[in-house]
Structure 1
Amino acid sequence: MSETPTTMQAVVMHAPEDYRLENRDVPTPAPDELLIKVEAVGVCASDLKAYAGAAKFWGDENRERWVEPGITPGHEITGEIVSGTAEALAHHEVALGDRIVVEQIVPCEECMYCRRGWYWMCDPHDMFGFKHYDGGMAEYMIVPALARAHKISPEIPPHHAAFAEPLSCSLHAVERAGIQFEDVVVIAGAGPIGLGAIIGAAHKTPRMVIALDFDEHKLELARKCGADLTLNPSKVDIYEEIRGLTGGYGADVYIECTGHPSAVGQGLNLLRKLGRYVEYSVFKENVSVDWSIISDDKELDVRGAHLGPYTWPAAIKIIESGVLPLEEICTHQFGLKDVQKALDTVADSAGASVKVSLLPGT
């Protein structure tokens, strides 16, 4: 390992739509902390919404913002451990030179949720790149003692390793769905989260995994990730198609991964009675649906999913196995100086991007 410099470049949030690349001191880890050299950090829709100044709850401008001024964004992180005491290394069960990925949340381990093992719903909810802890849009970053770190192979490209974060989220959504062998599973959206949900659902070996998207290239990726059938709602009547495949009943499971309000009502209508709806997306706009479909009409199970608790080892195993077409999923990489281009690429819904990443060392 080369000697760690004293200064670094880091993206710093000053205000909504005001992210600046600045020179900062390389942070010095405390005795129970690690210092990593960031190799890659993914950029996702939540980064874009935070950049735009989104509040924690849409439509309420009095709520606190997702991102604190002065913080370095970025929560899909991988990097090499370059500094840490024996105590810190032993705590995380790692060694100097290891490549790690870190979970998004830094749980307090003291609130009711943490004490009951529900750490991903930690009440303070401190997350890398949003609140309290600087994230990965920098050349170096501190990994505190409360963080959850996982080793990942240094043999795979860094931007592929960083995909462990969205993949772990997708796998949690799949776990929430309670998929059974006889189920017909519909996954709306073949972006990063949807593609991860497709491979996760395929690993559950249900009767059929159906992917929905308006982009034919993304539907091709969905097939490579394990979808048995792909449908473009602009070209076919998806309700007729899915009813025809299920004896007129409808799908057993619907996992929403688009973040578009129309996909919510779509899912409720595609499901059979007693079906299971899983919502992963964060919405820019309020969503309105006929709730009588959920209750009086179908008695549906509606389940949320947040972050990727307990799914990181599985996500890492999938990435290291090589079964995902990550060269085609991880489409765009930028240096820190091009953070605005990275955000704009994520925002361009008509563009060809799937997963966008920053590579701080380039």
Structure 2
Amino acid sequence: MKTKAVRLYGKMDLRLEEFELPQIAEDEILVRVVSDSICMSSYKAALLGAEHKRVPDDVANNPIIIGHELAGEVVEVGSQWKDRYQEGMRFSLQPALNYQGSMKSPGYSYPYCGGDATYMILPREVMIMDCLLPYRGEGFFKAALSEPYSCVIGACRSLFRTDRHNHNHYMGIREGGKMAIIGGCGPMGLAAIDYALSGEFRPNLLVVTDLDDRRIQRARELFEPKAAKQGISLLFVNTGTLDTPKQDLMKLTGGDGFDDILVMVPSAGVLELSESLLGFNGCLNFFAGPTDTSFSARVNYYDIHYLEKHIIGTTGGTVDDMREALKLMEEDKTNVEVLVTHVGGLDAAAQATLHLPEIPGGKKLIYTGIQMPLIALEDLPDLSSQSDLYKGLAEIVGANRGLWSVEAENYLLKNAPAI
């Protein structure tokens, strides 16, 4: 079977190519990919090429397929897995395999397994590690976004505090506590807001900071009604307008500091400010991934000692985190559609990945079976005169407060030209 896929050959060298897939072995599974969300980690892999820890040294001669935030349908199941998986099953994929300590991962390491493809082959370790997860909800885009959403769940589940009476550790957001998401109006920040309002443990106060008034306003419109319904005080602050950010943010907590803080931007100054905002026994998770291997920031060890502060970092999520994400989506408890700001076809994936830092907005969603340039949802009204496809999408998205939806996805898959 032939597939079309975006393959990495080296630093900033991505190519959309058609090639033959081999016949699957008895311990492999053939799948059709429907959607793949472009991740900044894919840009980092393209930027570093063979120097990336997950990319093979011989990638120039044996290219890999990029993309790891994906969803699709099972096409053919090898004999070894017939009792566990069925053809036609909708799925999402946890790419953090951690198989026998290996760094290999779909979207980084395999010649036939990556999300920016029409068809791909799942290697045995995906199933061995139980990373092929069924999805029973609506919307392939939701299943694709369960991977980045699981990263946020993992970050929140990793937050902890201690019990000074018996030294037990309690994991997760402090129920009824005070939480801050610093630099929180980007795509992963929005996912963190959504989870803090949707998950098992929720704060009473959630403060979200950013430097962009437009992003703050969009986040406010999206989440204030949900927060009010949950009885959570949700406050947005542009810290760029504050003369004394530490004092002003501490006032919002009544002077006690925050129980939980997620830092979503790799800035030394932001980290130092965030650490100073932690209250007694509070926990800070440095979620943003820096590219500078020597990145560092100052820490007040006096406060670490006497206020018993905890500072951690997490990257990625676990299989259980992804199961939780999929369950929340299947039960329609999340608003994951707020992450999507752009959609396009497989022919747009390579350039969108290479220029990802330059493209504003949230998640860029690729539908791998179609051809269409990457377009911003907010531009659809202006594009509607160019084609019936854009006109139809503009009407659907406009009726849904400018957000992507299952209806928009179905319309696109039905009417867009095949790749």
Same fold (TM over 0.5): yes
CA contact (8 A) 2:180 2:206 kept: yes
- CA 1:220–1:325 in 2, change beyond 3 Å: closer, same or farther? farther
Amino acid at match of 2:121: I
For 1:150-169, list aligned pairs within 5 A.
150-153=133-136, 155-156=138-139, 158-169=140-151
Match of 1:67 in 2: 55
Post-superposition shift, 1:11? Answer: 0.9
Match of 1:359 in 2: 367
- CA 1:64–1:39 in 2, change beyond 3 Å: closer, same or farther? closer
Post-superposition shift, 1:10? Answer: 1.1
In structure 2, how many angstroms separate the alpha carbons of the residues matched to 1:86 and 1:221? 49
Write out per-residue CA displacement over residues 63-93 of structure 1, whole angstroms, 9 at most, x where no aligned residue.
6544231111111111111111353242xx3
Match of 1:290 in 2: 298
For 1:86-101, list aligned pairs within 5 A.
86-90=79-83, 93-101=84-92
Amino acid at match of 1:235: T
For 1:1-362, list aligned pairs within 5 A.
6-53=1-48, 65-68=53-56, 69=59, 70-90=63-83, 93-108=84-99, 111=100, 123-132=101-110, 134-147=113-126, 148-153=131-136, 155-156=138-139, 158-177=140-159, 178-188=172-182, 189-202=184-197, 203=199, 204-223=201-220, 224-225=222-223, 228-236=234-242, 237-285=244-292, 286-293=294-301, 295-296=304-305, 298-309=307-318, 310-343=320-353, 346-348=356-358, 351=360, 353-362=361-370
TM-score by length of 2: 0.73
TM-score by length of 1: 0.84
CA contact (8 A) 1:54 1:65 kept: no
Write out per-residue CA displacement over residues 188-217 of structure 1, whole angstroms, 9 at most, x where no aligned residue.
222232222222222312221111222334
Percent identity (aligned): 26
Post-superposition shift, 1:35? Answer: 0.8
CA contact (8 A) 1:342 1:357 kept: no
CA contact (8 A) 1:184 1:253 kept: yes
Match of 2:380 in 1: none
CA contact (8 A) 1:54 1:66 kept: no
In structure 2, how many angstroms separate the alpha carbons of the residues matched to 1:146 and 1:53? 25
Write out per-residue CA displacement over residues 223-271 of structure 1, whole angstroms, 9 at most, x where no aligned residue.
4345611111123354233211222121111111223443322211221
Amino acid at match of 1:184: K
- CA 1:345–1:15 in 2, change beyond 3 Å: closer, same or farther? closer
In structure 2, how many angstroms separate the alpha carbons of the residues matched to 1:322 and 1:341? 33
- CA 1:269–1:183 in 2, change beyond 3 Å: closer, same or farther? same
Post-superposition shift, 1:96? Answer: 0.8
Question: Which has the bigger relative contact order, CA under 8 A and spacing at least 6?
Answer: 1
List alignment gaps of at least 5 residues for structure 2: 160-171, 228-233, 371-419
3-state SS of 2:208 partner: strand
Across the aligned residues of Structure 1 and Structure 2, the Cα RMSD in angstroms comes to 2.3
3-state SS of 2:260 partner: strand
Match of 2:384 in 1: none
Amino acid at match of 1:304: G
Write out per-residue CA displacement over residues 36-56 of structure 1, whole angstroms, 9 at most, x where no aligned residue.
10101111111111111178x
More helix by share: 2
Write out per-residue CA displacement over residues 260-283 of structure 1, whole angstroms, 9 at most, x where no aligned residue.
443322211221243211122210
Match of 1:118 in 2: none
3-state SS of 1:211 partner: strand
Report which stretch shifted further, 219-228 or 267-276: 219-228
In structure 2, how many angstroms separate the alpha carbons of the residues matched to 1:221 and 1:305? 27
Amino acid at match of 2:257: G
List alignment gaps of at least 5 residues for structure 1: 1-5, 56-62, 112-122
In structure 2, how many angstroms separate the alpha carbons of the residues matched to 1:264 and 1:338? 35
Write out per-residue CA displacement over residues 156-214 of structure 1, whole angstroms, 9 at most, x where no aligned residue.
1x223200000011001010113222421111222232222222222312221111222
- CA 1:222–1:356 in 2, change beyond 3 Å: closer, same or farther? same
CA contact (8 A) 2:92 2:143 kept: yes
- CA 1:245–1:11 in 2, change beyond 3 Å: closer, same or farther? same
CA contact (8 A) 1:345 1:356 kept: no
Post-superposition shift, 1:18? Answer: 0.6
3-state SS of 1:290 partner: coil
3-state SS of 1:311 partner: helix
- CA 1:253–1:326 in 2, change beyond 3 Å: closer, same or farther? closer
Post-superposition shift, 1:139? Answer: 0.9
- CA 1:197–1:87 in 2, change beyond 3 Å: closer, same or farther? same
CA contact (8 A) 1:38 1:138 kept: yes
In structure 2, how many angstroms separate the alpha carbons of the residues matched to 1:215 and 1:88? 49
